[in-house]
């Protein structure tokens, strides 16, 4: 885990950096807000620990800039500002947590661990919601697929079917297996509904010139993926 620590108080920053390093983190340090902002933009970090008041650029400005660029790296503010209004301003700027100086070292380490756990869980969830086979990517959560620069809108059933295919790439999926996955007991549609759904999905994800991914195994079912 890589952490960027930005604080101009050397008497705090240097020992804190050593403690974080002993805890197993890789720590980069900046004593100036402008330098810290450049490093945050140039490298990928798992956590930013920012002082609020910094020379060059404030921690608040760094956080606002990162959030405006769509970066979701967790941010922990360290600051002497302790009013409710200050805390609200920091959180509204995009900070994930806030610790008032002076603070107990064990509390800071606990908050660092909590933020990194949360970040790892969010990343895992994002991976689960996105599937990719060949040049086709599925954003299951939003019922969207992407292929060769195209954005493909899917119905709920198309999204469910494509997810099932992509989680079982290369496997023969029988008609019965697919029916059981897409429709619960008592909801079984007529026999031609699945074939119609397959045709619609193919039309959307297999444009002219693109490699076919849905393959019919006649009399049995379907196999998904590139063929050799």
d(CA 199, CA 57): 56
pLDDT of amino acid 180:
83
pLDDT of amino acid 185:
63
pLDDT of amino acid 19:
93
H or E element, residue 133: strand 130-133
Q: Which long-range CB contacts under 8 A does 195-198 form with residues at least 24 apart?
A: 197/157, 197/158, 197/161, 198/161, 198/222
Residue 93, SS3?
Answer: coil
Q: β-strands 144-147, 136-139: how paired?
A: antiparallel
pLDDT of amino acid 126:
53
| Domain 2-129 in CATH 3.40.50.2300 | yes
Domain boundaries, the chain: 2-129, 134-224
**pLDDT < 50: residue spans in the chain:** none
Name the CATH topology of 134-224.
Arc Repressor Mutant, subunit A (1.10.10)
pLDDT of amino acid 120:
67
Quick: pLDDT tens for 143-176: 999 999 899 999 999 999 999 999 899 899 999 8
| Residue closest to 100 by CA, chosen among 116, 122, 120, 76 | 76
pLDDT of amino acid 217:
94
> Dihedrals φ, ψ of 153, to 5°?
-85, 135
| Residue closest to 216 by CA, chosen among 165, 160, 159 | 165
């Amino acid at each position: 885990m890589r952490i960027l620590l930005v604080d101009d108080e050397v008497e705090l920053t240097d020992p804190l950096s050593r403690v974080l390093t002993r805890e197993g983190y890789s720590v980069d340090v900046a004593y100036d807000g402008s330098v810290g902002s450049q490093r945050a933009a140039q490298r990928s970090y798992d956590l930013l620990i920012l002082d609020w008041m910094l020379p060059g650029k404030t921690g608040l400005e760094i956080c606002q800039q990162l959030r405006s660029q769509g970066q979701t790296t967790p941010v922990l503010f360290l600051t002497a500002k302790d009013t409710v209004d200050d805390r609200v301003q920091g959180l509204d700027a995009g900070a994930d947590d806030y610790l008032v100086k002076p603070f107990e070292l064990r509390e800071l380490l606990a908050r660092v661990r909590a933020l990194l756990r949360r970040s790892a869980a969010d990343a895992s969830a994002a991976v689960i919601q996105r599937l990719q086979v060949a040049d086709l990517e599925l954003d299951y959560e939003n019922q969207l697929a992407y292929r060769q620069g195209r954005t493909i809108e899917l119905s709920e059933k198309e999204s469910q079917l494509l997810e099932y295919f992509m989680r079982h790439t290369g496997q023969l999926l029988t008609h019965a297996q697919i029916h059981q996955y897409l429709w619960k007991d008592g909801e079984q549609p007529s026999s031609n509904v699945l074939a119609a759904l397959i045709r619609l999905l193919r039309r959307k994800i297999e444009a002219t010139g693109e490699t076919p991914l849905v393959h019919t195994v006649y009399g049995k079912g379907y196999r998904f993926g590139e063929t050799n």
